[in-house]
A and B are shown apart, each in its own frame.
Chain A
Amino acid sequence: MNKPRAAGRTVGGLRPLALQAPAVTLLFLWMIVPLAMTVWFSLQRYNLLMPTMTGFAGLENYEYLFTDPALWKSMLNTLLLVGWVLVITVVGGTLLAVLFQQEFFGRGIARVLVISPFFVMPTVSALVWKNLMMHPANGIFAWIAELFGAQPVDWFSSLPLTSIVMIVAWQWLPFALLILLTAIQSLDEDQVEAARMDGAGPISIFFFITLPHLRRAISVVIMIEMIFLLTVFAEIFVTTSGGPGLATTNLAYLIYIRALLDFDVGMASAGGVVAIILANIVAIFLVRLVAKNLED
């Protein structure tokens, strides 16, 4: 009886470390090394088009970056994109969740269909929107416009950021709906009935009962979506390539331009570091908000 326990105890100090090691190693290689390399590159003169110019650059890359109007434009685009998609998905998701909570014929199938855009990969959905929906000659929107005798809209040149917002919102609305629909199902039916007895109509019930009940779920949706929306790339790459001009260039796309179109690795790395800092500011702010919401 004693022997195996004693043996266990001697290795006891080592064993947890040994068991943690693969995970720690993986995380280290996966996160810390690239992070350190990014920070290091951002302090180097490292442009593939000018292989002779190397060496330590100090904060030069950051200087160029912060004086580049493209950075501020892309930051604004990032915030606009994230903000509008959040507004559309949360408001739309909440309303759709209420709608899909009602009993109607074929509700199960309708729920699956409304959630399905989330399963389409971003590049594919962007292509579908670009060529099938928004194409100024062959698109469905153009066809509808012509049906009413209106001039078809050339979406990606006249309303570029709006178009991107539409595509991304279309992808993320199902996610918001899924989370909010799950949350709404846990709403105590008795509460709704008590409110009905208290004289609340459907609109009062929505604002006084349903919406407060969904508060936590909404903050979770906002947090998760924000993390992913800060790095939207494929939709922009496939449709507008950041243009016209810089109209749809967000931070992620700007870094791509600097690194893989301008081949300025140092500058791109500096942009990466800025993006990391921005994401962390947002994250701290959000985590506090969510934590507060989850508390009470």
Chain B
Amino acid sequence: MATLQLKNVIKEFGDTHVIKGVDLEVKDREFVVFVGPSGCGKSTLLRMIAGLESATDGDIVIDGKRMNDIGPAERGLAMVFQSYALYPHMTVEDNMGFSLRLAGVSKSERKDKVLDAARILQLENLLDRKPKALSGGQRQRVAIGRAIVRNPSIFLFDEPLSNLDAALRVQMRVELARLHEELDATMIYVTHDQIEAMTMADKIVVLQGGEVEQVGSPMELYHHPRNRFVAGFIGSPTMNFLPVDFQDANADGVQVTLPGGQGCRVPVNGEELAAGASLELGIRPEHLNLDDNGPMSGKIQVIERLGGATSLYVQMDHGMITVVADGDIEHKVGDTIRFGFEPFRGHLFREDGLALESLQRHPLTAINRQANRAPADSGDDQ
């Protein structure tokens, strides 16, 4: 069992407010990802959980015990650093067994535990090597192995894959997901890469400017972003935002006028909207369909063919819009295309950036990645 609660955690460096009051609950065996642009405070938050950074205010509670004043070694956590932070003068075996050595564990027991961890990570053949003689991926695995050996209640990962090349990153991503299954441990993972967040997380915490923007499962964040920032941050290519005119709102949704004059009823709750409210429509590139009778049109400026899919950058009157279309379309740069979308795919954002709530939840938001686990409850922190 390992749970973590953050209660109104604040961090200030002098006059700089790095973390502005974060509340969060991490359940046992959950894979939680902190994601956000650089400087959003996600690493600081992780380091505070680790005990490497003290909290200015608030409570950090691990397994029901307040840990603010307890040193990093006594919190029972293990951390994998972005730079791996392996000890260069020690062999892989010594690196992995260092914590046990400091704890006074006997040599034979140390060897057993290191071997167990090495087996999980396929490092048995490398135990005598020094870190210098390892590839990036191997170093990464040693760093993870060092964490496993400690048998921590919670694993902390600080952007562990950002120093690897793209192919290796995908491979390590899969391996980490497998490891999470195998170790059945609580993990907290920091990244700026929303793909890592989407693929690995049970629960994603989106941070910006030291504040939590939204907490939820990947599908929750994708289909029901709470505000414009989350909508733009999650998903690739980035969501398109179009200014639209508010017409009226009723039980079926909000009627807006699209650029180009056609109307559309987006099924979101607009009860509180005042007449003449300024709205923005958010629509993901992959939800725009090429359609000769579609309500919107524009001229193709750039085409990026990926084989399976094609990204079209289309110039409309108000600006650029991205459309992800089928890989086999034959359009060329300069063509004028028409396109549309299914109304339930649209998101509407108020002037203050908050999204209007969808009238229907997306069915996938209730389903967790792991079939045998209770779904991460969504949106309860808002």
Contacts and interface: CB of A to CB of B under 8 A. Distances in A.
Given A190-B81, A190-B83, A195 B98 contact: yes
A195 B88 CA distance: 12
Contact of A209 (B51, B71, B87, B146): B87
Given A190-B83, A191-B85, A212-B89, A197 B73 contact: yes
Nearest to B97: A198
A63 interface: no
B178 to A, nearest CB: 24
Nearest to A204: B102
B98 A208 contact: yes
Contact of B87 (A193, A195, A199): A195
Given A197-B50, A199-B103, A188 B85 contact: yes
A215 B82 CA distance: 25
A198 B150 contact: yes
A194 B79 contact: yes
Nearest to A198: B99
Nearest to B98: A198
Contacts of B52: 193, 196-197
A283 interface: no
B263 interface: no
B102 A199 contact: yes
A200 interface: yes
B355 interface: no
Nearest to A200: B102
A199 B79 contact: no
Interface residues of B, number: 25
Contacts of B81: 190, 193-194
Interface string A139-183: 000000000000000000000000000000000000000000000
Q: Which of A190, A199, A296 has the most B CB atoms < 10 Å from its CB?
A: A199
A208 B87 contact: yes
Contacts of A194: 79, 81, 85-87, 146
Contact of A193 (B85, B88, B103, B130): B85
Contacts of B84: 190
A188 B83 contact: yes
Contacts of B73: 196-200
A200 B85 CA distance: 14
A213 B89 CA distance: 8
A191 B81 CA distance: 9
A191 B102 contact: no
Interface in B10-39: none
A193 B83 CA distance: 12
B17 to A, nearest CB: 22
A190 B85 contact: yes
A231 to B, nearest CB: 34
B87 A191 contact: yes
A216 to B, nearest CB: 10
A199 B82 CA distance: 19
A194 B81 CA distance: 8
A191 B51 CA distance: 15
B102 A198 contact: yes
- Most chain A CB atoms below 10 A, which of B51, B77, B87, B130: B87
B72 interface: yes
Contacts of A188: 83, 85
Interface string B65-97: 000000111000111011111111100000000
A94 to B, nearest CB: 16
B77 A197 contact: yes
Nearest to B99: A198
Contacts of B150: 198
A21 to B, nearest CB: 43
Nearest to A191: B85
Nearest to B150: A198
Contacts of A213: 88-89
A-B complex: 6 closest residue pairs judged by Cβ atoms: A199-B73, A190-B85, A198-B99, A194-B85, A212-B89, A199-B102
Interface of A: 188, 190-191, 193-200, 204, 208-209, 212-213, 215, 296
29 contacts: A188-B83, A188-B85, A190-B81, A190-B83, A190-B84, A193-B85, A194-B85, A194-B86, A195-B98, A196-B71, A196-B73, A197-B50, A197-B52, A197-B78, A197-B79, A197-B99, A198-B73, A198-B98, A198-B99, A198-B102, A198-B150, A199-B73, A199-B99, A199-B103, A200-B102, A208-B87, A212-B88, A215-B89, A296-B130
